[in-house]
Structure formats: C-alpha cells, structure tokens
Amino acid sequence: MTAVRIASLHDLSAEFAGRNPEWLDGDELIRYQAITSASRKMQFLTGHFLVRKTAAQIFNNSFTDWIYFTDDEKHRRLKCRQDGLPLLYCSISHSGEWVAAAVSEIPIGIDIETFDKQRDFIAIAKHVFSDAEVSLLEKCGAQELKEEFYLHWTLKESIAKQYGAGLKFEVSRSHRPVQVSDVNEASLHSWLCRDYVCSIACNTANKIETSGLPEEAIYRRWRNIPVNRQS
C-alpha cells in the first residue's frame, strides 16, 4: 500500500479552519509553536494534516487517529491510536501553493517543486547533479531546462528524504536517475504537471494510489544508478 496526495494550501486550510492544532503531537507541536512566520505555520499545518488525512482515507478513520513522529533511524512515521493497524512510513513536501504527502508500509520520500522560481539552474546542477545530468540540462531550451532541473531535483530530494539522510552532494553527484518501463525495476516515480513536478522514492512494485494530480500529469518510472555503471 503506497498513497500519494497533492492539494493546494487554500483547500487544505479551509478544511481545518477554526480548529486548534491540538491534533499535533509532542515534538511536532513544539516545532509548530517555534515557527514565527504565519505562512510557514500554515505550510507546516497543511502538510501534517494532509499526511494524516491520507492515512485516514486508506483505513477509513479520522486524521486525528494518527500520531506523527520521527523514529530512531530518522524515518518519518505514522502510528494509529487504534489497535491492529500497521505502523506507516510517511513524507511531506510543499512548494508555493502546493502540498504533497505520501504514506506507505515501507520507507518513502516525496518532494514537490513548482516552476515559478527562476534560478541559475546550470550552476546549481554542477554542485548537485552528475556530469551526465548537467550535460542533459545544457542542451535544453529555457522552459525544458526549468522542467528538467526540477524533475531531477525532486528525484534526488525524494531519495534523500526516503531514509532521513538529507541531500548529500557527494552522493547526488555520483548517481543519476534513468528511466525504466518495468515497474519491478523502479525505485523512483515522477509526475510532471503544468505547475509543478512531484517525485517519490519508494521500492515498491505495487500500484501507487494517487489523488489530486491533474489528468495531464506525465508519469514516469526511474531507478537510481551509480554514474560509472551503464544504464
């Protein structure tokens, strides 16, 4: 069971308007209270609400039934207050007006990026991406460059978040994603949309349940390989 949900900040904030954040737990609540920016507080709330809502939709209970925590190995987890339900892995991401959440029974990472930020994509790529990926970007036109940069960025971020290790440049530069057609070979999945790209890292061959993605989203499967290995 692996599920991905995408929603807008506006729609999510309307769902729990007027509620106190008492459904946040322990360190999660402490983190929320330490945030001083109103916009960042809203991003935090909507992400932590959406990941709970995703689990609740799968198991037909309430989002308040789920406890969010970080385990000893830095995995983000969800535990149900009801007995008999599995301990889940989860991941949250947000960019601009969009929030993404993923839950699974195996480690998972998710990242979403909108296309509204203009950056020096090639300069950043030379620090973070493999030489093969940089070469690919250097051949792109302006719009394709932006889409390809954020696609590869979200793939790398999702891998980093899958095991709570953070994005380590020495690792990200020494690996690159290659597209695959066989679901059994895939460890990465991406959806390219008009306004954003979203990627997950999850070693599953089972169907991924998705909600909130536009019909025109372009879905692709990938695996991550060392750069000195032939694809």
Mean pLDDT of 60-78: 95
Provide the pLDDT for residue 217: 98
Provide the pLDDT for residue 229: 42
Contact residues for 185 (Cβ-Cβ < 8 A; gap 6+): 221, 223
Paired strand residues for 104:
2, 89
Determine contact, residues 112/217, Cβ cutoff 8 Å. no
Q: What is the mean pLDDT of the chain?
A: 93
Long-range contacts of 63-71, Cβ-Cβ distance < 8 Å, separation of 24 or more: 63/23, 64/23, 67/25, 68/24, 68/25, 68/28, 69/25, 69/26, 69/27, 69/28, 70/27, 70/164
d(CA 67, CA 47): 14
Task: Catalogue all structural domains in the chain, each as residue range(s) with its CATH number.
Answer: 2-226 (3.90.470.20)
Provide the pLDDT for residue 230: 42
173 versus 78: which is more confidently predicted?
A: 78
* pLDDT level of residue 18 (50, 70, 90 thresholds): low
Determine contact, residues 198/100, Cβ cutoff 8 Å. yes
Provide the pLDDT for residue 207: 87
Provide the pLDDT for residue 15: 84
Conformation bin of residue 162: beta by default, left when phi > 0, alpha when psi is -120 to 50: alpha
pLDDT, tens only, 36-57? 999 999 999 999 999 999 999 9
Packing angle of the helix pair 121-128, 131-138 (nearest 10 deg)? 170
DSSP letter for 109, please.
Answer: E
Cα–Cα distance list, 48 to 58, 61, 168, 203, 227 (Å): 16, 16, 25, 23, 36
* pLDDT level of residue 231 (50, 70, 90 thresholds): very low
116 versus 190: which is more confidently predicted?
A: 190
